[in-house]
């Protein structure tokens, strides 16, 4: 299967006409039709139902073309990234993290690092799920995660980055938003959003509140849904500080709790690049200097 055949197939699915499709692709109709036939022969099933110069997708063809569209978009992005990389960089460091705000100082670290090592590209990979698997498959050079998730990891080096506290998230107009710190008693009588893939430490805090019998709770599948529910006035939630995007949309109030999340970076033991360790050093320095920054 060639890239031209992919483009021809997608175009015919769009126009449903061999003549118009060939014109749009700037080739003769016989060439256009021949390439479609070659593609069908290669995949082993009929993609289009012919009707004179017209063509409609078969059920199998509909599924196939949907896949081709995604594949072409991925290919386009890969080519663009390759062009950017070859034009400016000779090395790349990829870092997997679940959301952009997880490493608040990442943009600043990139700016500082590129001043001294402009030939190295830092590539963030946002993977809310599957980041650990991606790292273990060597698809990422650095993994941001919680220390509790690294106990069974082999062949990796764990770099401690910062400790993140627990916060209560409320609507900015909520009476709790005026407090400097939230206690367990402050939450009594309220509805707490729980679930959504919460880390074990947070689940234990949530469970302690629920076992009091003095709060209601509402299961929420993920953090974004939880924030939507909070904005809609359906309840409040507890979350680690590293999820705070500092947009000011919600009130994040410290929750009175001694438990903290140990946020770490993992690298492969076999990766001894100086640039990699320099970049991690840049990040650690920024966090070490941010004593008063809420985490």
What is the per-residue pLDDT for 163? Answer: 94
Query: Distance (Å, rounded) from C-alpha 276 to C-alpha 267?
Result: 9
- Residue 189, sorted as left (phi over 0), alpha (psi -120 to 50) or beta, turns out to be left
Element (H, E) at 87: helix 59-88
In this structure, what DSSP letter does residue 17 have?
A: B
- State residue 85's pLDDT score: 67
pLDDT in tens, 46-102: 999 998 778 999 999 999 999 898 888 888 877 877 776 666 778 899 999 998 899
Which of 236, 238, 240, 250 shows the shortest CA–CA distance to 191? 236
Q: Which residue has the higher pLDDT, 156 or 127?
A: 156
Across all residues in the chain, what is the average pLDDT? Answer: 91
Q: Which two tokens stand for residue 12?
A: 């015919």
Residues 24-40 have a mean pLDDT of 93
Q: What is the model's pLDDT at position 277? A: 94
Tens of pLDDT, residue by residue over 208-252, are: 999 999 999 989 888 889 999 999 999 999 999 999 999 999 999
- Predicted local distance difference test score (pLDDT) of residue 130: 85
Q: What is the pTM of this model?
A: 0.72
Distance CA 227, CA 236 (A): 9
């Amino acid at each position: 299967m060639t890239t031209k055949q992919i483009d021809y197939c997608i175009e015919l699915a769009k126009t449903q006409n061999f003549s118009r499709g060939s014109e749009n692709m700037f080739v003769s109709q016989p060439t256009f039709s021949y390439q479609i036939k070659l593609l069908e022969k290669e995949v082993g099933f009929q993609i289009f139902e012919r009707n004179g110069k017209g063509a409609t997708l078969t059920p199998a063809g509909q599924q196939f073309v949907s896949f081709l569209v995604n594949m072409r978009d991925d290919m386009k992005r890969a080519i663009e990234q390759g062009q950017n990389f070859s034009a400016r960089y000779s090395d790349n460091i990829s870092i997997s993290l679940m959301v952009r705000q997880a490493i608040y100082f990442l943009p600043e670290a990139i700016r500082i690092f590129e001043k001294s090592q402009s030939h190295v590209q830092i590539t963030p990979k946002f993977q809310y799920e599957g980041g650990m698997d991606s790292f273990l498959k060597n698809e990422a050079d650095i993994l941001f995660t919680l220390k509790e998730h690294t106990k069974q990891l082999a062949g990796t080096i764990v770099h401690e980055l910062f400790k993140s506290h627990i916060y209560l998230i409320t609507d900015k107009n909520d009476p709790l938003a005026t407090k400097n710190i939230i206690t367990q008693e402050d939450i009594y009588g309220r509805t707490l959003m729980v679930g959504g893939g919460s880390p074990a430490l947070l689940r234990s805090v949530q469970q302690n509140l629920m076992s009091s019998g003095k709060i209601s709770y509402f299961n929420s599948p993920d953090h974004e849904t939880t924030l939507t529910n909070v904005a809609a006035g359906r309840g409040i939630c507890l979350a680690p500080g590293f999820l705070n995007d500092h947009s000011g949309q919600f009130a994040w109030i410290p929750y009175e709790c001694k438990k903290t999340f140990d946020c770490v970076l993992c690298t492969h033991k076999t990766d001894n690049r100086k640039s990699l360790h320099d970049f991690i050093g840049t990040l650690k320095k920024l966090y070490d200097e941010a004593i008063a920054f809420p985490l």
